[in-house]
Amino acid sequence: MDLFDSILNFVVPPASMIMMAFAWPTLSFIHGVEWVFKGLYRENMENKVVVITGASSAIGEQIAYEYARRKANLVLVARREHRLFGIRENCRVLGAKQVLIIAADVVKEEDCKRFISDTISYFGQLNHLVNTASLGHTFYFEEASDTSIFPHMMDINFWGNVYPTYVALPYLRQSRGRILVNASVESWLPMPRMSLYAAAKAAVINFYESLRFEVKDDVGITIATHGWVGSELSSGRIMLEEGAEMQWKEEREVPLTGGHIEEFAKMMVAGACRGDAYVKNPSWYDIFLLYRVFAPDVLGWTFRLLLSTISNQSARRPSLAGVGSRPLLEPAPARKPPLAFSPASPLQQQQQQQKNE
């Protein structure tokens, strides 16, 4: 068996490259025809029910607007309920039939059961589940000053996808619905300062790739991967449980790929309605995956060279940060100790007593 595997190690990679080179034009043509066909027969979302998690800002908000333009019924889910009121009104203006808002935490299974149950009780069905809740970082792993954020990041980025999917899956089977997932190219493209985020996103993609085979054609799954997309959020504060308090420090990032969050949201919804298995922006990132499989050393050398140049231009500093919308997270400033008052003198006590009398 070892000899057989050794032979295949030498034969399969070059043979696969040759086959791919010859098959690439034909596969591209077939993919183009399929794309046109799906575009002509895309799903009509009018009066259908869409649940969107992480809908209070950034990509989740923009996806809600795209479904609203398609006249869907929306269920907007987020922890920051106050942000959802304005988004609900915007969705109604854009054409959404009915819009429910539900405050819930996607990392809590009971909350997920509640908002899916409320959706079914009100609308009687569920057609699309959109998971966009995400939290990333831009800190070097060894310089993280507060490790209590680690499990929260894994919870939001991984379990925040798994729990809503687990609860919604029986209803999606009934309607032959679809799951739309907000993933990231960092799941397989090596980037510094994103170790935990990349690990969580890799877990998400592998989870849905496995689930795709389990549900077969009963439930569609669209995995959307993006590079860096720009976003702008209003400031606020999140309170993570178990005493970890982090300060939102929202900034507008310059999108490295020239893309915008609104455009990516439009691509995601259009891809889901066409029934696409993947939505990628930009798609040329895929070439790095090819290098990672067949020439990992070349990819490693290239990134080390590029990243070393970038590192020399910017000082390293420990910080916590957010992605998707990539809001930066900084440790909350230390609270000021209460002012200490010295006890009153006997004369002051006597004057106070006379006033009381």
Q: Which residues are catalytic?
A: 197
For residue 90, the one-letter residue type is N
Distances in Å between the Cα of 147 and the Cα atoms of 193, 237, 240, 249, 346 are 15, 19, 13, 19, 51
Q: Which among 152, 181, 176 is positioned nearest to 164, based on CA atoms?
A: 181
CB atoms within 10 A of CB 330: 14
Distances in Å between the Cα of 316 and the Cα atoms of 140, 322, 329 are 8, 17, 16
Q: Which domains does the chain have, with CATH numbers?
A: 30-331 (3.40.50.720)
In the three-class reduction of DSSP (H, G, I as helix; E, B as strand; rest coil), residue 342 is classed as coil
Instruction: Specify whether the CB–CB gap between 261 and 58 falls below 8 A.
Output: yes
Distances in Å between the Cα of 157 and the Cα atoms of 54, 171, 203, 212 are 11, 23, 9, 19
Locate 297 and state its tokens.
């050393």
User: Rounded to an integer, what distance in angstroms lies between the CA atom of residue 149 and that of residue 105?
Assistant: 16
In the three-class reduction of DSSP (H, G, I as helix; E, B as strand; rest coil), residue 237 is classed as strand
Per-residue pLDDT of the chain (357 residues; tens, 9 = 90+): 688 888 888 888 788 878 878 887 887 778 777 777 767 778 999 999 999 999 987 889 999 999 999 999 999 999 988 999 999 999 999 999 999 999 999 999 999 999 999 999 999 999 999 999 888 777 788 888 888 888 888 899 999 999 999 999 999 999 999 999 998 877 777 677 888 888 999 999 999 999 999 999 999 999 998 865 444 333 333 334 333 333 333 332 333 333 478 899 999 999 999 999 999 887 777 777 777 777 778 777 877 777 666 555 555 444 444 333 334 444 444 444 444 434 444 445 545 555 555
